[in-house]
A and B are shown apart, each in its own frame.
Chain A
């Protein structure tokens, strides 16, 4: 997706804040943040990391440097090269929607990092750690482990657009001490805004999102 088209689409869908969460990489975040600044949309730098257990985790940050630090760790622990014939080219773009490079790493692959370590690193970098699409069978914390181990300091659990709020409450009633969130996980323009979560925040930052996920100081995840 190209930055300006994405920002326009997100605004048209009424979104106040989005996060760019490419798999195992954040090289595109700066371009989208620039486009967001120009277009009046808050864009957070982020990443969707694949743990050793093939669990997907969303990381959200405020500072691009912190996101870049996570990317460095991921790159040091991500084996393999992309196979373009199978997965397509992994393009890096600039804020003018131009392709400026190609990422040769196997971004669709799994890192060598256990998921608890990834959560810990995200927190040490002041980020927000959310388990991706736990309702799905593939690449989800619940799908891979069968359960959520005690005491994992996740900030939230993401439910995919496929599962309604009521179904999620029923299926995951034993995990309701975590906040549930719904995101579009858009891989194309049409999917942007497909699923959203209303937050009550003082300002649009990931720090505020984390407070809302923990119900701190009046910030919260709102009922849709």
Chain B
């Protein structure tokens, strides 16, 4: 499953990184403490979060994540968008809340085990 498949399934809005949506999604991580995501997320995972500030791009880049989905209709900060475009990091927006989005991703076959 690619990031693009997820975008289509959930009707996600694409805010950055539209050139990297064909990457394979290898797993998922849901979390809002950057230290936690840094410690436990795995390369190629899609990250579900409510954090909109620019440090999320640094974390996602460092961990080579497939992309970031902001939940509850949250929009990335302008500086976040700028950094995401620089890094080519997909930032997507979902109107769903984290629990529901994560559950549905899991049901689609995206595992937390990476």
User: Measuring CB to CB, which residues of chain A are less than 8 angstroms from any residue of chain B?
Assistant: 52-54, 79-80, 83, 86-87, 108-110, 137-138
Contact = CB atoms under 8 A, between A and B. Distances in A.
Interface string B53-97: 101001001100000000000000000000000000000000000
Contact of A109 (B35, B51, B61): B35
A53 B33 contact: yes
B105 interface: no
A131 to B, nearest CB: 18
B38 interface: yes
B98 interface: no
Interface residues of B, number: 12
B34 interface: yes
A54 B58 contact: no
B62 A138 contact: no
A138 B56 CA distance: 11
Contacts of A110: 33-35
Given A54-B33, A109-B35, A86 B53 contact: no
Given A137-B53, A138-B53, A87 B58 contact: yes
B62 A83 contact: yes
A52 B51 CA distance: 16
Interface of B: 33-35, 38-39, 51-53, 55, 58, 61-62
Interface secondary structure of B, over-half rule: helix
A54 B62 contact: no
Q: Is the interface of A mostly helix, strand, loop or mixed?
A: loop
Contact of B61 (A52, A53, A86, A108): A86
13 contacts: A52-B35, A53-B33, A83-B62, A86-B61, A87-B58, A109-B34, A109-B38, A110-B34, A110-B35, A137-B52, A137-B53, A138-B53, A138-B55
User: 8 tightest CB-CB pairs across the interface, nearest first?
Assistant: A110-B35, A138-B53, A86-B58, A54-B33, A83-B62, A86-B62, A109-B35, A86-B61
Centre residue among A53, A80, A83, A138 by max chain B CB count within 10 A: A138
A53 B35 CA distance: 9
Contact of B35 (A54, A87, A138): A54
Contacts of A52: 35
A98 B58 CA distance: 28
Contact of A138 (B38, B39, B51, B61): B51
A134 to B, nearest CB: 15
Contacts of B51: 138
Contacts of B35: 52, 54, 109-110
A163 to B, nearest CB: 16
